[in-house]
Amino acid sequence: MKEIIIVALGFSAGGLNPLKKFFNAVLHDHVSYIILRHIPKGYQSALQEILQRHSKLTIVEATDGMKIKKDVVYITPPFAHMTVRNETLYLHTRRLEPGGNWAVDIFLNSLAETDGNRIAVILSGAGSDGSKGIVKLKSAGGLVLVQTPESCEHASMPENAIATGTVDYITEPGKMPEIIQQHVETIMDTLQPFKNNGTV
């Protein structure tokens, strides 16, 4: 059984402030965070520097083949989409995206196929990216949290996610880390007997 717990956060328009509220409430909880966003390919974002002011965790821009570690926040670079396999991140050159940007679905689909503990968070954004991915992740045993539409600047990503019927919690971003922490504690309690038997 895998001990790396991955939380994937997807957002688009209006997602920066909710993201800051989320990380203001995050503790060192032995979780790895993956940030998936809609961003123009050539745009030089200051997201890493901005988030570092709201978190004590290590925040890095992901590189191809990077191993996932606990208490680290990984940001997808603007030129790539990202997938995960065997607790390793892989970058894929972004191509023409018919119908919109699918960065969240692409990652969540790969996350659902990995062993281990998976959590998806959908924040403010336009469109339906993430909706297909959370269905697949939920069917694989994952946990899904979505920002309350009324607290979003752009509500269609959360609304489309909620419409799938696979969402576990609909809440404000600042309350999500506590829910995740409780979920993590349950997972770690489950793992403890395996550790004691030397099977992890």
Q: What is the CATH number of domain 5-196?
A: 3.40.50.180
Please state the rounded mean pLDDT for residues 108-137: 95
pLDDT 10s digits, 79-101: 899 999 999 999 999 876 776 78
Which one-letter amino acid corresponds to residue 133? G
Q: Please indicate whether residue 124 is annotated as part of the active site.
A: no
Residue 198 confidence (pLDDT) above 80: no
Locate 153 and state its tokens: 């600047």
Q: Please indicate whether residue 12 is annotated as part of the active site.
A: yes
Share of the chain residues as helix, strand and coil, in percent rounded to the nearest 5: 35, 25, 40
Measured CA to CA, the distance from residue 70 to residue 154 in angstroms comes to: 31
Residue 41 confidence (pLDDT) above 80: no
Q: Indicate yes or no: pTM above 0.85.
A: yes
Which one-letter amino acid corresponds to residue 140? A
DSSP 58: E
From 29, 32, 38, 154, the catalytic residue: 38
Residue-level pLDDT at 200: 46
Q: Please indicate whether residue 29 is annotated as part of the active site.
A: no
From 29, 105, 129, 156, the catalytic residue: 129
pLDDT 10s digits, 19-33: 999 999 998 778 999
pLDDT 10s digits, 155-181: 999 999 999 999 999 999 999 999 999
Beta strands 66-67; 88-93: pairing state: antiparallel
